């Protein structure tokens, strides 16, 4: 696949893409505010499909009902969806006490308009996706579209539901796609650490050999010297707790424990997401970088000195916040 960025139009264009199963998915054009995405990919998943369905109200089946509603009307509608037992499958309720259950996260939304956008996404998931048991839930800073409530995330019922969701087919612009292929099982709020399924070392084994990169957004360690055993254990626990929370909020997050540090990453990307020669990247990766612009050090931003060329052509040293970085996914154990 060839990505082409049009700076003047602030848009990405790409040639028809052939998926891992050999099927092309190239139809359609969706205006995402200032960004225009042509085509779709199975692995872009619900983000691509819901972008067309949610952000562009003119092509959303439920848009006519949403358009023209006041914020108060949308708020009342949201309260119904978020009320415990409200909607198909129940919601969990904003401010309500969270139950200790595992769930399957289809997509997470952030930002000021997350509730209204998530409601439209839920409608699309239920109607066109046929997943009528899907529900909304507020999780810290995000609103997620989820489905299922399981006492055990490794149970047959959970695994069967995950397979059903991932294999759900939707026709987009005349092409059959699987927009929920990136769905994953998320833990309850009080789950302990040491979850091997969130270990980056297992990513290739669990998701396929197409996986090459992930975006590092955090590291837990010491800079002055190697941490002792107690500190290292604390760093590992902190990284796992961060990953657990990110998962609950709808992010595909992972931890990686090294000999002196623990890293936190989000997303999985392949060769079609990043061209190592041209440095051209997919809109999905670009949006994730914008959402997580920095690589946090023990939960806080870290300044670093970098050399840049000024307008006079001279190299000078300046300070910047350490940015998030694309890193290679290790081979599975």
Question: pLDDT, tens digit, for every residue of 120-129?
Answer: 999 999 999 9
The conformation of residue 73, written as its DSSP 8-state character, comes to: H
- Does 148 lie in the same domain as 58? yes
Claim to verify: residue 106 and residue 218 sit in the same structural domain: no
**Closest to 244 (Cα-Cα) out of 295, 184, 188:** 188
pLDDT at 234: 93
Query: What global pTM score does this model have?
Result: 0.59
pLDDT per position as a tens digit, 183-234? 998 888 766 556 788 999 999 998 899 999 999 999 999 988 889 989 999 9
- Residue 45 maps to a domain: yes
Q: Is the pLDDT of residue 65 over 60?
A: no
Tell whether 178 and 268 lie within a shared domain. no
Of 77-81, 125-129, 159-163, 258-262, the one with minimum mean pLDDT is: 77-81
The answer to whether residues 140 and 226 belong to one domain is: no
Half-sphere exposure of 152 (CA within 13 A, CB side): 6
| Residue where a domain terminates, one of 186, 214, 247 | 186
In a domain, 333, yes or no: no
Which one of 129, 160, 186 terminates a domain? 186
| Domain annotation covers residue 143 | yes
Note whether residue 191 is domain-resident.
no
178 and 238 together in one domain: no
d(CA 319, CA 301): 12
Residue 14's pLDDT is 30
**144 within a domain of the structure (yes/no):** yes
Instruction: Say yes or no to pLDDT of 71 above 70.
Output: no
Residues 247, 160: one domain?
A: no
Q: Which of 28-32, 37-41, 198-202, 284-288 has the lowest mean pLDDT?
A: 28-32
Contacts of 240 (CB under 8 A, 6+ apart): 193, 194, 195, 198, 255, 262
Which domain-ending residue is among 186, 208, 241? Answer: 186
Tell me, what DSSP letter sits at residue 154?
Answer: T
Neighbour count for residue 125 (Cβ, 10 Å): 29
Question: Are both 10 and 80 inside the same structural domain?
Answer: yes
Of the candidate ranges 6-10, 41-45, 169-173, the one whose mean pLDDT is the lowest: 6-10
Least confident window among 35-44, 144-153, 284-293, 320-329: 35-44
Q: Are residues 153 and 234 in the same domain?
A: no
Tell me the pairing of strands 213-220 and 296-297: parallel
* E strands in 173-220: 175-177, 184-186, 213-220
Tally of structural domains, the chain:
2
Q: What is the pLDDT averaged over residues 98-115? A: 84
* Whether residues 170 and 206 fall in one domain: no
Please state whether beta strands 175-177 and 29-32 pair in parallel, antiparallel, or not at all (unpaired). unpaired
Q: Which band of pLDDT confidence, cut at 50, 70 and 90, is reported for residue 49?
A: low
Q: Residues 208-246, buried b or exposed e (16+ Cβ, 10 A)?
A: eeebbbbbbbbbbbeeeeebeeeebeebbebbbebbbbb
Say if strands 11-14 and 170-172 run parallel, antiparallel, or are unpaired: unpaired
Instruction: Name the average pLDDT for the chain.
Output: 74
Q: Which residue has the higher pLDDT, 328 or 92?
A: 328
- The percent of residues in the chain predicted with pLDDT above 70, rounded, is 68
Residue 299 lies in a domain: yes
Same domain, 182 and 201: no
| One domain, residues 180 and 38 | yes
Domain that residue 21 falls in:
3-186
| 331 vs 84, higher pLDDT | 331
Same domain, 139 and 218: no
């Amino acid at each position: 696949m060839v990505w082409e960025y049009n700076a003047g139009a602030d848009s990405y264009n790409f040639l028809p893409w052939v998926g891992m199963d050999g099927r092309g998915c190239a139809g359609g054009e969706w205006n995402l505010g200032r960004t225009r995405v042509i085509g779709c990919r199975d692995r872009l998943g619900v983000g691509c499909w819901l972008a067309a369905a949610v952000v562009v109200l003119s092509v959303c089946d439920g848009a006519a009902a949403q358009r023209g509603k006041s914020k108060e009307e949308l708020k009342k509608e949201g309260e119904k969806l978020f009320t415990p037992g409200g909607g198909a499958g129940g919601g969990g309720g904003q401010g309500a006490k969270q139950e200790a259950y595992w769930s399957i996260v289809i997509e997470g939304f952030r930002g000021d308009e997350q509730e209204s956008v998530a409601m439209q996404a839920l409608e699309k998931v239920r109607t066109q996706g046929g997943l009528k048991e899907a529900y909304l839930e507020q999780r810290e800073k995000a609103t997620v579209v989820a489905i299922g409530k399981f006492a055990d995330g490794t149970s047959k019922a959970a695994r069967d539901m995950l397979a059903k969701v991932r294999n759900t087919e939707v026709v987009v612009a005349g092409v059959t796609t699987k927009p929920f292929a990136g769905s994953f099982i998320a833990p309850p709020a009080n789950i302990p650490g040491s979850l091997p399924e969130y270990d980056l070392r297992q990513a290739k084994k669990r998701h396929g050999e197409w996986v090459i990169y992930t975006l590092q957004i955090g590291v837990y360690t010491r800079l002055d010297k190697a941490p002792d055993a107690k500190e290292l254990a604390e760093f590992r626990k902190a990284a796992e707790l961060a990953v657990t929370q990110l998962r609950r909020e709808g992010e595909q997050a992972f931890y990686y424990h090294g000999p002196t540090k623990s890293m936190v990453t989000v997303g999985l990307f392949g060769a079609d997401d990043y061209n190592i020669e041209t440095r051209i990247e997919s809109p999905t990766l670009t949006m994730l970088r914008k959402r997580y612009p920095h690589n946090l050090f023990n939960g806080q931003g870290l300044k670093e000195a970098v050399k840049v060329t000024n307008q006079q052509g001279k190299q000078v040293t300046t300070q910047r916040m350490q940015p998030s970085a694309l890193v290679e996914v290790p081979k599975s154990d």
